[in-house]
Structure 1
């Protein structure tokens, strides 16, 4: 019974993550990771003309710097640590990234850690300073780490089925004691990664199949898009030019540049810095006037109903599995503790 319950629980995120809304968007392959050591890219940062990634659980404490021109690894940074489950990266200032050892599938870790390390060409090793983070209401699983481009403050989004919680780290992290996180809002469920946009006024959070854009700090939903199909979509990054990049787990996984619909791009990026530069299409307004936004009443409601029914079916299955009746005794078998009559 335990195996059945665990099996159902494991498939729930993938089922719910497949129920998506929003426009379908195209993705262009920018490059493929050529390094056979990059097997489970779970975090992504695109800065200074370079791509930085990290493997998730099972790898040592290291990040890879990759040349997007050909996908070759040009630098590896290692540090003194034994990570439990590195799941995310976030920009940490010029030439540096935050590495989030925040994965916790069983929601059992008393604390998680983040470490700020340099990236770039060449090999380097450093001691590394881990900053311990604790949640206000006990452990949760998470794969999303975001850094405010204006303040540098870190945020984590939990990976929960029916909606993630956004947690803020203290403005200044203390390396000598646990840093208590604070819940500040809600976001997409089954979140596998997220990032701030360069303006600091919007964030994007993804799951296995879609991405949602929010205002910051109010976290009002601006729009959603269906991401291109991936083997197991884990990471998303926004570069200095507002371009969106995504990647997946797997050897020689591609890094895709995503073309966000024009009407959405105009809401989350300045006109001088479009999120992507897709070729002209019938959707593009060549005169520069703003395209009308579809009213909320015209948006399809079926994804929400389907998600609800899937969730209800899972809950019912778990309840029945846990309440399975004991094995029935035969008609002639006496109740436990009583002897058969002689």
Structure 2
């Protein structure tokens, strides 16, 4: 987003949402390094693997991904032949393909938005999309474990609408989108962002999925919200209560990503801004391990625990009952016969 313009400020009383849990032991973001390359002055999308970080700028005149070392230095640039309108976020698929979210629409004047796939070799494909309910500005993209894209809109009112393609993507399209969920966020007092107060803390500016598919992150200018995900169910995940991680004092925080080890990356637009790391973030929403079930006792275990029956064959309970009843009956008759004599 090149500039932030708001027609109004939202009164605090208008925001009604389920508050996120602030984990008791949330790790503090730590600056890993500083982005100094002027070519990345509008960094708004991040992805990561074991060896590198990948970044894209807001806007742009080409489908471009910068390959960074983990010292924030640009090592390579991947560029496709497509001229986008306003790229706002990026996700990386399991096969290494980059997906650029050309979904920015500050003035709500686009008839279509788009996704752009970009291979590491520079091959790019455009997929146009249409909303079912009017025009939206969106700055967040995530992929589920199967590679299905989900677009999350940006709203100063604190309600982020989530859309996914209604069918397979076609190029150039357009493919219709389907509304699947609305996520509401509460305001926070975390400092930072270009818009002070309520609005900046509820406006979704980025999204990410953990590489192992167990967590989703949505971010605002000031905070990250982590949701646990099971079986690739994005809608179910975003319907749950999240854990909030403050990302304080980012000038214009728009980028977020998970590393393979579960740590969370966040970054801001602006030359000289850091890439911050929240160590172990994904573990905050990891499912509790299931308790171990005791192994059932075997017949041999029962035999060993009963020395009086060692070496004897097992006798069914019904047989034992019949024998006991017959013995009592015979004893009773014998006693009666003795009394008769």
Q: 5 Å matches for 1:74-89? A: 74-89=75-90
Q: Deviations along 1:276-332, whole A, 9 cap, x unmatched?
A: xxxxxxxxxxxxxxxxxxxxxxxxxxxxxxxxxxxxxxxxxxxxxxxxxxxxxxxxx
**In the alignment, structure 1 residue 268 sits paired with structure 2 residue 286:** yes
RMSD of equivalent CA atoms: 2.8
**Cα separation, 1, equivalents of 2:276 and 2:163:** 28
**Cα separation, 1, equivalents of 2:91 and 2:139:** 11
**Cα separation, 1, equivalents of 2:69 and 2:280:** 24
- Contact 2:44/2:269 (8 A) holds in 1: yes
- Contact 2:167/2:176 (8 A) holds in 1: no
**In the alignment, structure 1 residue 9 sits paired with structure 2 residue 7:** yes
**Cα separation, 2, equivalents of 1:170 and 1:241:** 33
**Cα separation, 2, equivalents of 1:84 and 1:12:** 29
Shift of 1:12: 5.9
SS in 2 for 1:71: coil
Shift of 1:27: 1.1
Residue 105 to residue 222, structure 1, CA distance change in 2 (3 Å): same
**Cα separation, 1, equivalents of 2:76 and 2:227:** 33
**In the alignment, structure 1 residue 210 sits paired with structure 2 residue 223:** yes
- 2:152 maps to 157
Shift of 1:265: 2.9
**TM-score after normalising by structure 2:** 0.67
Shift of 1:110: 0.8
Shift of 1:10: 7.0
**Cα separation, 1, equivalents of 2:48 and 2:61:** 21
**In the alignment, structure 1 residue 92 sits paired with structure 2 residue 93:** yes
Shift of 1:8: 4.8
**TM-score after normalising by structure 1:** 0.67
**Cα separation, 2, equivalents of 1:270 and 1:245:** 24
- Contact 1:25/1:228 (8 A) holds in 2: no
Aligned residue pair count: 254
- 1:50 maps to 52
**Cα separation, 1, equivalents of 2:212 and 2:48:** 16
Between stretches 207-216 and 139-148, larger displacement belongs to 207-216
SS in 2 for 1:37: helix
Shift of 1:58: 4.3
Bigger radius of gyration, 1 or 2? 2
- 1:178 maps to 174
Shift of 1:26: 1.2
- 2:273 maps to 253
Between stretches 140-149 and 90-99, larger displacement belongs to 90-99
**In the alignment, structure 1 residue 190 sits paired with structure 2 residue 203:** yes
Residue 10 to residue 118, structure 1, CA distance change in 2 (3 Å): farther
Shift of 1:201: 4.1
Shift of 1:253: 2.1
Residue 197 to residue 93, structure 1, CA distance change in 2 (3 Å): closer
Shift of 1:113: 0.9
Between stretches 25-34 and 249-258, larger displacement belongs to 25-34
- 1:110 maps to 111
Shift of 1:91: 1.2
Instruction: Extract unaligned runs of 5+ from structure 2.
Output: 186-201, 229-233, 290-341
**Cα separation, 2, equivalents of 1:270 and 1:227:** 26
Match of 1:136 among 126, 132, 146: 132
